[in-house]
Amino acid sequence: MTAIPTIRTANVADAAAVQAIYAPIVEGTAISFEEVPPSIAEMGERIATTLENYPYLIAERNGEVIGYAYASQHRSRAAYRWSVDVTVYIADQAHRTGVGRALYSRLIAELTERGVHAAFAGIALPNPGSVALHESMGFTPLGIYREVGQKFGQWHDVGWWQRLLPRLS
């Protein structure tokens, strides 16, 4: 049985571990639409900038970073301030071990505490594992942006999912 991961708030010192998870996804898949992996320094800046306004979480098992999740601004207009985009990435060796669920459970709880109303997730398709994770966490499909990104010489669709968060009294 796989141990439950420890979930904690990220810090800039996690940049190398986060970059090590993310770089192969950028380089080898269309899951991320970035074409060049960010440097460790850039990843540190992203963590710091995100933490100014949103949660950024790390999953660890036996002291090893095995995944991360964060929220970000959904859109820039003021009326969108109660909505966020959410993202989760899991190290290859930790897929299908409950890490994504653990990260999203904590992320959703923190967003709820902050008064966020709606969380959105964009998933480059096909990605049945990510779709299954999001739907298991209560996200419902909204629609698909057809051929919205080009990577590796091919057009890729992005599906959008939404979860309305409970209101705390």
The verdict on residue 35 lying in a domain is yes
The verdict on residue 63 lying in a domain is yes
Q: Could you list the residue range(s) of the whole structural domain that residue 72 is in?
A: 6-119
Average pLDDT, the chain: 96
Q: Would you mind telling me the total number of residues written for the chain in this entry?
A: 169
Report pLDDT for 169.
Answer: 63
DSSP secondary structure code for residue 10 in this structure: -
**Which conformational region is residue 4 in: left (phi greater than 0), alpha (psi within -120 to 50 degrees), or beta?**
beta
Query: How many domains does one find in the chain?
Result: 1
For residue 23, the domain's CATH number is 3.40.630.30
Listed in sequence order, the DSSP H helices in the chain are 15-28, 40-51, 99-113, 128-136
The verdict on residue 125 lying in a domain is no
pLDDT, tens digit, for every residue of 18-31? 999 999 999 999 99
The verdict on residue 32 lying in a domain is yes
Query: Using 50, 70 and 90 to split pLDDT, how confident is the model at 3?
Result: confident
Would you say 160 and 145 are in contact if contact means Cβ atoms under 8 Å apart?
A: yes
The verdict on residue 150 lying in a domain is no
The verdict on residue 134 lying in a domain is no
pTM here? 0.95
pLDDT, tens digit, for every residue of 65-108? 999 999 999 999 999 999 999 999 999 999 999 999 999 999 99
The verdict on residue 75 lying in a domain is yes
Report pLDDT for 55.
Answer: 98
